[in-house]
């Protein structure tokens, strides 16, 4: 038995309300006793001697009441990522009418993980082809959400019935406790096994909101992220293309290789002291990879912060403000947007630098190329330190003289979207139909100029598939909505107009 920190305290699990523990204590008898909070800080491993299998199973995911800790079994039934097969290889390539002629530049890539580099992202969807059937599935479930827990059980039932070779991995102790008796192949993992996720997991399923996806991203710090299939539990979110009611169809598309991916750019961040030495923000982690944004904010300090911003080593400006945000294109519709930043398409590789309540009226957001390296340094003359917030997580405080450095991460988030994935990387070649690019290359200069100004046909649009981003900024942000009657109606929804006309 091992002691691991719990996320939160709650009601006791089963009949075991709490556990008395001292360093090196040999527990031959398990009973409900009084918790001694002071003992948890110095407690070592809890060894169970003479305990029955039933007691061990009952305590496998028990949380110690009132102490913020839970007991997790170190037996192979609960942990054992090392014995899982390695993840299978995938093949990805851009989908679109230009792919045929640009195949030498944007040819499909086969690898056991998905990476990106500056200028490599294609402004559209990517195909996903499994070299072998995926086997290891990570379920990331919103904590404390009973609907999400129930959905996790349904998905596990589906995988057991239609893909019996699948290994389901869960993180949350509550989910594991509710599902372990019905699913013998269910696995959990300890914090020490977290680095194995990037090597073992074939794809991720998230059940919750946008924050659940951000948490899934944090599980793959400094490592490639597997494809992420996200389901909405009834809430709206920019990163939730599927409703939980359609999970069977979505999984069928994913397993059959008909799904498409949108490679959402991430950032990598490191924190440095006044002398340039790296200061880890997470245990044993010099760099942190993030999906939405990193923000420096004065927090509860009464004074504005003074932050010097550098781009590629050159001083850009000194911001006297509540703080600064560096966001990804995905994060441009989150905190940065609320602070007055621009909306950036997720396929446009860039960094967004947005001030938070600046004292200067002329300080506006700046969009930087993705190969930029940005440094934000707390000025030595600043009267206030700054809190460091990464994807909603507080990672400490930066004092005057300390700085953070941000650049594009080589490991994007491959998000499965609702766009058609039936057209693979060489769909244009299979169709044998000339594209606009073919005609432009084979014609003279006048014809080429004419073609460049000709609107794209509807067929070309369909090859790009449905754009989730266009739909989301209209339905979620009410982009460019008027203040008149029916402003909240979706202009792309014909049923709304029909209902009004009646």
Which residues are the active-site residues?
210
Angle subtended by helix axes 247-256 and 146-162, to nearest 10: 40
Distance CA 117, CA 327 (A): 17
Closest CA to 336 of 344, 345, 347, 327: 327
DSSP state of 359: S
DSSP state of 347: T
Residue 22: both structure tokens together? 């001292």
Closest CA to 194 of 220, 170, 228, 215: 220
- Widest CA span of the chain, in angstroms? 89
DSSP characters for 436-461? HHHHHHHS-HHHHHHHHTSPPPHHHH
Distance CA 73, CA 189 (A): 10
Residue 404: both structure tokens together? 């953070």
DSSP characters for 41-57? TT--PPEE-S--HHHHH
End-to-end CA distance of the chain: 66
Task: Give whole-number Cα distances, 310 to 299, 354, 373, 387, 408, in Å.
Answer: 22, 14, 8, 19, 15
Task: Give whole-number Cα distances, 376 to 160, 183, 291, 335, 439, in Å.
Answer: 49, 48, 18, 18, 48
């Amino acid at each position: 038995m091992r002691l691991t920190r719990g996320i939160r305290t709650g009601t006791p699990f089963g009949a075991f309300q709490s556990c008395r523990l001292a360093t090196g204590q040999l527990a031959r008898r398990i009973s409900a006793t009084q918790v001694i909070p002071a003992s948890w800080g110095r407690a070592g491993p809890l060894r169970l001697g003479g305990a029955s299998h039933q007691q061990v199973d009952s305590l496998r995911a028990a949380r110690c009441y009132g102490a913020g800790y839970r007991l997790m079994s170190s037996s192979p039934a609960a942990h054992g990522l090392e014995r899982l097969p390695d993840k299978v290889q995938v093949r990805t390539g851009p989908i679109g009418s230009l792919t045929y002629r640009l195949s030498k530049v944007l040819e499909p890539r086969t690898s056991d993980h998905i990476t990106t580099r500056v200028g490599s992202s294609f402004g559209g969807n990517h195909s996903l082809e499994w070299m072998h059937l995926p086997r290891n599935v990570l379920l990331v479930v919103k904590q404390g959400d009973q609907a999400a827990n129930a959905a996790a059980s349904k998905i596990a039932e589906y995988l057991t019935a239609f893909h019996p070779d699948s290994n389901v991995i869960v993180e949350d102790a509550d989910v594991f406790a509710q599902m372990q008796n019905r699913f013998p192949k269910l696995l959990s993992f300890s914090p020490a096994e977290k680095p194995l996720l990037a090597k073992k997991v074939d794809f991720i399923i998230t059940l919750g909101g946008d924050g659940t996806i951000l948490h899934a991203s944090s599980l793959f710090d400094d490592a490639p992220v597997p494809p992420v299939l996200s389901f909405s539990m009834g809430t709206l979110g920019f990163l939730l293309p599927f409703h939980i009611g359609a999970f069977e169809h979505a999984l069928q598309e994913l397993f059959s290789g008909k799904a498409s991916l949108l490679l959402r750019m991430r950032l990598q961040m490191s924190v440095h002291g006044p002398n340039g030495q790296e200061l880890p923000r997470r245990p044993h982690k010099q760099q942190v990879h993030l999906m939405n944004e990193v923000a420096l904010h004065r927090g509860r300090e009464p004074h504005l912060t003074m932050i010097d911003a550098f781009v590629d080593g050159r001083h850009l400006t000194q911001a006297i403000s509540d703080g600064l945000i560096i966001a990804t294109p995905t994060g441009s519709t989150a905190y940065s947007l609320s602070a007055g930043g621009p909306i950036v398409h997720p396929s446009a590789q860039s960094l967004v630098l947005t001030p938070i309540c600046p004292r200067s009226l002329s300080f506006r957001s700046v969009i930087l190329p993705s190969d930029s390296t940005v440094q934000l340094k707390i000025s030595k003359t600043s009267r206030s330190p700054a809190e460091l917030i990464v994807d909603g997580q507080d990672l400490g405080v930066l004092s005057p003289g300390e700085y953070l450095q941000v650049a594009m991460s080589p490991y994007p988030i491959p998000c499965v979207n609702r766009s058609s994935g039936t057209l693979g990387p060489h769909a244009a070649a299979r169709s044998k139909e000339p594209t606009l690019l073919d005609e432009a290359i084979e014609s003279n200069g006048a014809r080429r100029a004419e073609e460049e100004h000709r609107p794209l046909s509807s067929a070309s649009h369909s090859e790009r598939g449905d754009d989730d981003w266009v739909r989301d900024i209209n339905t979620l942000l009410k982009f460019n909505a008027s203040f008149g009657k029916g402003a909240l109606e979706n202009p792309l929804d014909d049923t709304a107009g029909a209902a009004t006309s009646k």
